[in-house]
Every structure is written in C-alpha cells, then in structure tokens.
Amino acid sequence: MHITRFAEAPEYQAPNHFDMRCVYLQGRTAGPSVQLWLGVSTIEPGGHTGLDPSPMEKHYVVLEGELTLVAELEGHTESAVLGLHDSARFAPGEKRQLRNHTDQPAKVLLAMPLAPPAAG
C-alpha cells in the first residue's frame, strides 16, 4: 500500500494550464504505479486549460464546484457543464479544454495512463 496525504501531494506544472494548481495523488512523483496516475487540479475562477490534444485517454471527475468542458475531435466541437461528481472521458487525440466560468474555485480528479496506447 502507498498513501499520499493530500496536504503533502507533490505539485506539478502542466503546459497550457492557467490559474490552476495541480498535484499528483498517485503515480509520477507521488509514488509507484504500473499503469496509471491520479491527480487533482484546483481551477480558480477564470482558470482554464488550452484546447489541446493528448495521446492519452483522460478521465475527469468534478470533486467541487462546476466546470465547462470542451471537446473537439475531427472538426466536431461540443461542450458540457459538469457539477459535483459528474465525470467525462476524453479519447486519445481528442482536443480537450477545462474552463471555470464561475466565481468559485473548482476541483477535478484526473486519472490517466502513464503511457499512450501501443500502436497497432
């Protein structure tokens, strides 16, 4: 068993993340992991990510507040507002953006693989 206390979770900086604080809960610099890592991002009012693709599948769960998620794949764009305990999955290669349009901070749990899927 490996435990990470939230107050001691290592912080990381992600590219194209603005007005956000991101920490690792499991995996990466938070401890051992074979297949995936977990993190929590606190997104301040007006905070957001870029509308960027990733080779990794990503799963998000809103832990606090409200977030607007935007997805773009093959020229098709959609958005949705997620509240407490709502979740979303982004496919590998899908552009994704998180935005906090509210006046309160939002927290989101991120689960994602350590490596992109094998080609095949």
Say whether pLDDT at 120 is over 70. Answer: no
- Can you give the pLDDT at residue 102? 98
Residue 110, beta-bridge partner list: 39, 60
Which pLDDT tens digit goes with each residue over 88-107? 999 999 999 999 999 999 99
Q: Are 86 and 27 in contact (CB under 8 A)?
A: no
Percent of the chain scored above 70 by pLDDT? 99
Say whether pLDDT at 118 is over 90. Answer: no
Domains of the chain: 9-113 (2.60.120.10)
Q: What is the mean pLDDT of the chain?
A: 96
Cα distance between the two ends of the chain = 34
- Can you give the pLDDT at residue 18? 98
